[in-house]
Amino acid sequence: MVRTSTRLLAGCAVVVLVAGCKQYQSPTTQTSAPADTGTPAPSAPAAVPDQPSQSGADLGVANSADHGKYLVDATGKTVYMLQKDSKGASSCYDACATQWPPLLSPQGTPKALDPSVAAGAIVDIQRTDGGVQVTYHGHPLYHYSQDLAAGQINGQGARDSFGEW
């Protein structure tokens, strides 16, 4: 398992770059098979019969030619971090949370969908607005309202009135 430093996480708007991990495949999206690396290819999370049911807040990994590997939720949508957030506390509410909706976990702590995602680093925090938000290595996670489909990374490196993403 690759260990990602907090410094790297703080410097990446996409949350985490994970070397050597497999591409996350959404249960509704098929991609071409990865090159044979001697390691078994991952199956789509929904295809594993003995796996507990997924939460939309579960974390997987996707790959982009431009951005490398990055964290996604169980639907394949990109998740982001706000650099000014305190470790374990969100500062994004009201208009910010409309533009950058927090990744909420209504069903308890989400799980890792990819072996390269450190399952122990996925923790829920209580938001002051009553929601339960997912964090990774202490960084609260968000979606970007301009990412309309899985695989979009429109919020990468964004700077707005709410901060740097």
- pLDDT tens track for 75-92: 999 999 999 999 999 999
> What residue segments make up the domains of the chain, in order of their start?
1-165
Answer left, alpha or beta for residue 83, where phi above 0 means left and psi between -120 and 50 means alpha.
alpha
**According to the model, what pLDDT value does residue 33 have?**
29
Question: Which of the residue ranges 44-58, 80-94, 120-134 would you say has the lowest mean pLDDT?
Answer: 44-58
Query: pTM for the complete prediction?
Result: 0.70
